[in-house]
Amino acid sequence: MPKLPSIRKVLILGSGAIKIGEAAEFDYSGSQCLKALQEEGVETVVVNPNIATVQTDPQLAGQVYLLPVTAEYVTEVIRREKPDGIVLGFGGQTALNCGMELAKAGRLEELGVKILGTPARAIEITEDRALFRSAMKQAGVPVPQSETANSVDDALNVADKIGYPVIVRAAYTLGGKGSGIARNSEQLRLAAGEGITQSPIGQILIEEYLGGWKELEYEVMRDSANNCLIICNMENFDPMGIHTGDSTVVAPSQTLSNEEYHLLRSESIRVIQKLGIVGECNIQWALDPKSCQYRAIEVNARMSRSSALASKATGYPLAYIAAKLAIGFLLPELRNKVTGATCAFFEPALDYVVVKIPRWDFQKFRNVDPHLGPAMKSIGEVMAIGRCFEEALQKAVRMLDNGREGLLESKQTLESREKIVQALSHPTDTRLFEVAHALDAEFQISEISMLTGIDPWFLEKLKNIVEMRRELGLHSLDSLPKGLLAQAKRLGFSDSQIAAFVSTTTQCIRDLRKKWGSYRLLSRLIRWLPNGRRKPTTST
């Protein structure tokens, strides 16, 4: 179907001013939305006070209002500009909360403004913990045992029914704000009080704690004709209990069986169809590693950090396509402008691995607790692409710009076994490197997995890097084998890393690669496994 003829002017809400504890990284999605709408001749109006964005550039937006994204200011803009529609999914939680406040107060209906894309009722269901739980049960999708509470006493009563430990989740918040894990009534009193304070509607969800379960995300698209597709899925390095924004994430998933992958894929499509979302949404799942049990954790009916990651990882312009769907187009009618060849109703296929690692800046804040939990503490993230997990991971570590050349340093600090166990059991911002340190200290993979909940597959990959570091340390520049250098590069080791391990200079390693033609060497030795053995080959 063509663009809705009644939509001539659209209001786009931004993510608001930059504030500690609130996200302001939705410029990408807002800019893509503006581009998509202007291509269809739709006049655009932007409300966002952050001038350091692309979307507030007058050359991109038709009209810009550098005002707070609040119901009061947005109402005045609507009265002045008289838009036909408003989109809420491109400015994060700030835009979504503001739009829902306007809808519930009846101001949008009063002023003749239609919510485009995902309807208000669907947004309300995804944000209200009680409504979401009820909708999932009606759809036959399992959710964690839970109940909502509006006071600390209610929370204590719910926890007594469910049993400790429990997790507290606040409604209508971003980045797990107001969330916490409670292992007893005293911890619950504190967590519940904080959650109720942080929730705009004073509502929290007391939920059974699924610590140790895998956490996965599926990015899903749906149009108004019920066409659905999966853009990609992502797997957290850390298990449930650590916010996905504070966890290393890999796309596509690496440890799921074919049965598990397609089970969650089918359920993700069933969820988005049940909710009636139009555009993009992010669905978070918990999966028991010891069985096929799974639970739907939450749905973000808007663009998110995961959406931006999925868009860049797959080359699928999520925000751009979502904006087109909001004004009436269907997926089969749209072309993927990135590929230029496929239509939007075509699922991307990845033959590479993408790794995202969060970045923290705890040293800038006094008395901050570096321990990680269900409330996000990272201030940004980096993304890297590689042919294998090890390569992408080491590239991402270098991009953190914290002085590390890769997962391992040339000189590792020796620590006692008790200190390493403590670090593994109580995750902080150095969790990834503590795991590598434990592997270097000859901890068994099964022991590390038990202490951290990290899947053994990831630990085996980290062990490949540790073992390669040891092999490199056995050689000098003169004795370094060609095959070993090729394997090291395949595992993401930089020239400076290799130089440090073989006691030479970066330039010497670079010269050696040029002399040996290491890139040609890599292609010839691509069948080599990280431990040096060849994969079996078959002849036809």
CATH number at residue 252: 3.30.470.20
Between the alpha carbon of residue 90 and those of residues 13, 228, 275, 408, 434, the distances in Å are: 7, 20, 19, 39, 37
Is the residue at 509 inside a domain? Answer: no
- Which pLDDT value is given to residue 292? 85
Last residue of a domain, one of 327, 357, 387: 357
- Which pLDDT value is given to residue 27? 84
- Which pLDDT value is given to residue 341? 76
Residues 218, 352: one domain? yes
Q: Which amino acid belongs to residue 153?
A: D
- Which pLDDT value is given to residue 523? 52
Domain that holds residue 325: 214-357
Is the residue at 344 inside a domain? Answer: yes
Residues 221, 202: one domain? no
pLDDT at 135 over 80: yes
Over residues 103-128, the pLDDT tens digits come to: 999 999 999 999 999 999 999 999 88
- Which pLDDT value is given to residue 518? 54
- Which pLDDT value is given to residue 74? 96
Over residues 335-387, the pLDDT tens digits come to: 877 777 778 998 888 899 999 999 888 877 778 888 888 888 888 889 999 99
DSSP structure class, residue 279: E
- Whether 109 and 37 have beta carbons less than 8 Å apart is answered as no
CATH number at residue 173: 3.30.1490.20
**Mean pLDDT over all residues of the chain?**
88
Angle at 417 between CA 413 and CA 421, to 5 degrees: 105
Give me the residues paired with residue 13 across strands.
Answer: 47
Residues 250, 203: one domain? no
For residues 12 and 34, what is the distance between their CA atoms, to the nearest angstrom? 8
Residues 255, 328: one domain? yes
Residues 198, 239: one domain? no
Residues 231, 303: one domain? yes
- Which pLDDT value is given to residue 78? 96
Residues 79, 199: one domain? no
Give me the residues paired with residue 182 across strands.
Answer: 166
Over residues 484-534, the pLDDT tens digits come to: 999 999 999 999 999 999 999 999 999 988 888 755 555 555 544 444 444
Could you tell me the two tokens for 347? 């699922």
Q: Among candidates 187, 201, 216, which has minimal Cα distance to 129?
A: 201
Is the residue at 35 inside a domain? Answer: yes
Residues 262, 228: one domain? yes
Residues 203, 219: one domain? no
Radius of gyration of the chain (CA): 25
- Which pLDDT value is given to residue 255? 96
Q: Does the N-terminal peptide bond of residue 165 adopt cis geometry, omega within 30 degrees of 0?
A: yes
- Which pLDDT value is given to residue 63? 92
For residues 499 and 476, what is the distance between their CA atoms, to the nearest angstrom? 9
Q: Which residue has the tokens 């990680």?
A: 372
- pLDDT-derived band at 259, boundaries 50, 70, 90: very high
- Tell how strand 63-65 and strand 43-47 pair up: parallel
- pLDDT-derived band at 228, boundaries 50, 70, 90: very high
Last residue of a domain, one of 71, 98, 116: 116
- Chain centroid to CA 442: 32
Cα atoms in the Cβ-side hemisphere of radius 13 Å centred on 250: 23
- Which pLDDT value is given to residue 68? 93
Is the residue at 469 inside a domain? Answer: no
Q: Among candidates 372, 410, 501, 451, which has minimal Cα distance to 443?
A: 451
Residues 194, 65: one domain? no
Residues 195, 237: one domain? no
- pLDDT-derived band at 87, boundaries 50, 70, 90: very high
- Tell how strand 228-236 and strand 214-222 pair up: antiparallel
Which regions of 109-179 does DSSP assign to beta strands (E)?
Answer: 114-115, 146-149, 166-170
Residues 204, 218: one domain? no
- Which pLDDT value is given to residue 51? 85
Is the residue at 247 inside a domain? Answer: yes
Percentage of the chain modeled with pLDDT above 70: 93
What integer is the mean pLDDT of 475-484? 91
Over residues 433-458, the pLDDT tens digits come to: 999 999 999 999 999 999 999 999 99
Is the residue at 335 inside a domain? Answer: yes
Last residue of a domain, one of 74, 98, 116: 116
Cα atoms in the Cβ-side hemisphere of radius 13 Å centred on 459: 24
Q: Which amino acid belongs to residue 391?
A: E
Q: How many CB atoms lie within 10 A of CB 530?
A: 19
- Which pLDDT value is given to residue 207? 86
- Which pLDDT value is given to residue 532? 45
- Please tell me the total count of domains within the chain: 3
pLDDT at 20 over 90: no
Is the residue at 311 inside a domain? Answer: yes
Single pTM value for the model: 0.86
Is the residue at 426 inside a domain? Answer: no
For residues 388 and 30, what is the distance between their CA atoms, to the nearest angstrom? 32
Where are the alpha helices (H) located in 205-249, listed in sequence order? none
